[in-house]
Amino acid sequence: MKIFLDNQLVDAEDAKISVFDHGLLYGDGVFEGIRLYDSCIFKLDEHLIRLEQSAKALMLNIPMSRVALANAIIDTCKANNLTNGYIRLVVTRGVGNLGLSIKNCNNPKVIIIADAIQLYPKEYYENGLKIITVPTRRNNPSALPPMVKSLNYLNNILAKIEAQSLGYEEAIMLNDQGFVAECTGDNIFLVKDGMLYTPKIASGSLKGITRQVVLDISQDLSIKYIDTDITRYDTWIADEMFLTGTAAEIIPIVEVDSRVIGNGKPGIITGNFLEVFKSKVREEGTKI
């Protein structure tokens, strides 16, 4: 397996960074997860733009242009003979002194990993996923804007640990006001009385690429959507519910906090979204 590091492709066992890299020491860096479908990289430009915006928010200079990054991603996929899979693009602050100051971090690192991935088993897409709400709250947007995809994921990891310790694969995270923010790695959508609802970005949810694709699909399907404050009660009485994410794609939810959603099976509207999504990923990709 080949990894892109220091402007070259190296064997995985040789892909090493310093223990003084602030990405390791402090989670100081940004990343993107990108999907590859039948040799087409889905929404590559959108991911690279979001990476640039995350980096700008952290005052982190990406040492490569957008075009150079795109070419490096394509080269990494080709080097690994990958036609379907997952791409992890990482930019770390680079090597610096012990301490929080970034003054001596002069060489940010770009890392690209392209490999196979399957986040959830096939049966979850066919039968739906059961999830719970966990105590760990989403970080307040005034502390760290949720639009920034930083390497510091401890908040989400703690929520994932709580869910898995109780036998669940995914968990809803509330914000500090008690409204639904997102799941540990996915955005949330509800269907109620033919309308689509999703937490607004200000609630603490990531401005997900797949989230936006679903909002675009809603226009194609003539389904009105509202991004608004959502409570736990709203999730319990939803007719349908699904999660979205680059790795997860669109996955139906059939139970929340022991409350059955709808008839306990993946909903028809959810299925319609998934069907359109599957066609889009191959129509709107960047060929490698």
Residues forming the active site: 149
Cα 49 to Cα 11, 114, 284: the distances in Å are 28, 19, 16
With vertex at residue 246, the alpha carbon angle to CA 242 and CA 249, rounded to the nearest 5 degrees, is 35
Burial of 242 (C-beta count, 10 Å sphere; 0-12/13-18/19+): buried
Q: How many residues does the chain have?
A: 288
Alpha-carbon 58 to chain mean position: 19
Helix (H, G, I), strand (E, B) or coil at 57: helix
Give CA–CA dist 118/247, Å, rounded: 7
What does the DSSP 8-state code read for residue 214? H
Strand partners, 192: 195
Q: How far apart are the first and last CA of the chain?
A: 18
